[in-house]
Chain A
Amino acid sequence: MQDFRYIDNIVTLQLDGKSCIGCGNCVTVCPHRIFGLTERKAEITDRDACMECGACAKNCPVGAISVNPGVGCAAEIMAQWVNKLAGRKIIDGCC
């Protein structure tokens, strides 16, 4: 995946090192391998490769990870904008 880099300094991913218990679940589930484990603490090694899928936050037993999860899909975001403007669901997004 190193062939593909998306926009830098934009993702909402945050890791609270203090509450981390070092279980390594985030390291396991991340499809872009952006977490590492050193001295029983998780750390983000490549934050800009995050696609905000939310797998790490979902599988963190102590809630040390926060991210605003969603799909990085223009059609989906367009649908959200239209539906928000209309105040009700007019169009479906993708997948």
Chain B
Amino acid sequence: MTSNYKLSFDSLRFQLADIDAWLLVADTRGVNVWCAAGKGTFSTEEIIYSVQQSRLQQLVNHRTLILPQLGATGVAAYKLTKGCGFKAKFGPIRSNDLPRFLRNKQRTDETMRSVTFNLRERAVLIPVEIYLLMKPMAIATLAVLLLSGIGPSIFSATAAWSRGAYFIGASLIGVGCGAFLVPLILPWLPGRQFWIKGLLPGLAGSLICWGLFVSTGEVTPLEGLSLLLWITAFSSYLAMNFTGSTPFTSPSGVEHEMRRGMVFQATAVAVSLLLWLASPFIG
């Protein structure tokens, strides 16, 4: 039993290449098992419907369904026997454990039943984070260019480009910290709350920014301070957003940390923008 998320289905087929078995695919509208189970499309009712729709009773002699363990969030296995005549058991979390599970008389061990979040699993999420960021970043860039042009001469297109470029440069450093560095070094970052985990990479990025722009005299120290606050707040925000990609953060915990982290992030961004707007007037 699986969902019709293409990547899950393909990896399942790949793992079962040498094994003679039927695959029953529930229609979860292209969403993976865990997310679909959480959202209610990979559900007890859906499994019963899929079994009946496919006339599984006529296709196979046995009466056992093997469900992916992460589907348990949406499927009450004990209700399936009554619902469709098939006894359900939860198999391993990862499809690459299935051959071992089947060889092992359909028994699981603790490693098959535990979620992991190793370096590789974290690294593959980085492109997704970046992709989701592109649209809001494009809008923010426009806003930053407009704000950067404001000065003693009311609006200067030259200043918009030259000053705006530094802010955009700082934003890219922020993305490097919050969306690249944080996922990669997550287990070693200090703090339990993700908005705190984003602070240290943000400060490190700010130092790089200071070295590139302030030490060389390209921006004033006041502007440098503005960029420092911006990078740190942005990195903190991106780290907080990474909670959704991890398999161990609870909604209660995320809500708790958002109430704290967002106060810091909003304050830092407000002060940063104020300094950025004020610096052309101060000189």
Identify A68's interface contact among B39, B74, B194, B252, CB under 8 A. Answer: B252
Are B192 and A76 in contact, CB atoms less than 8 angstroms apart?
no
Interface string of A59-73 (1 = CB under 8 A from B): 101000000111111
Identify B247's interface contact among A11, A31, A76, CB under 8 A. Answer: A31
Are B73 and A7 in contact, CB atoms less than 8 angstroms apart?
no
Assuming A72-B249, A77-B255, is B113 touching A58 (CB within 8 A)? no
Are A71 and B38 in contact, CB atoms less than 8 angstroms apart?
yes
Identify A71's interface contact among B90, B186, B251, CB under 8 A. Answer: B251
What residues of chain A lie closer than 8 Å to B244, measured between beta carbons? 71-76, 94-95
**SS of A interface (majority):** loop
How many interface residues does B have (CB within 8 Å)? 46
Identify B256's interface contact among A7, A31, A33, A54, CB under 8 A. Answer: A7
Counting contact residues on chain A (CB < 8 A from B), the size range is 35 or more
Which of the listed residues B69, B75, B244 has the most CB atoms from chain A within 10 Å of its own CB? B244
Interface string of B172-189 (1 = CB under 8 A from A): 000000000000001100
Are A10 and B115 in contact, CB atoms less than 8 angstroms apart?
no
What residues of chain B lie closer than 8 Å to A58, measured between beta carbons? 72-76
26 example contacts (A-B, Cβ-Cβ < 8 A) are as follows: A1-B115, A1-B117, A1-B248, A3-B117, A4-B117, A4-B246, A4-B248, A5-B192, A7-B253, A7-B257, A8-B192, A23-B78, A25-B77, A28-B72, A31-B113, A33-B110, A51-B247, A53-B34, A58-B73, A61-B78, A69-B38, A70-B251, A71-B244, A74-B254, A77-B258, A78-B258
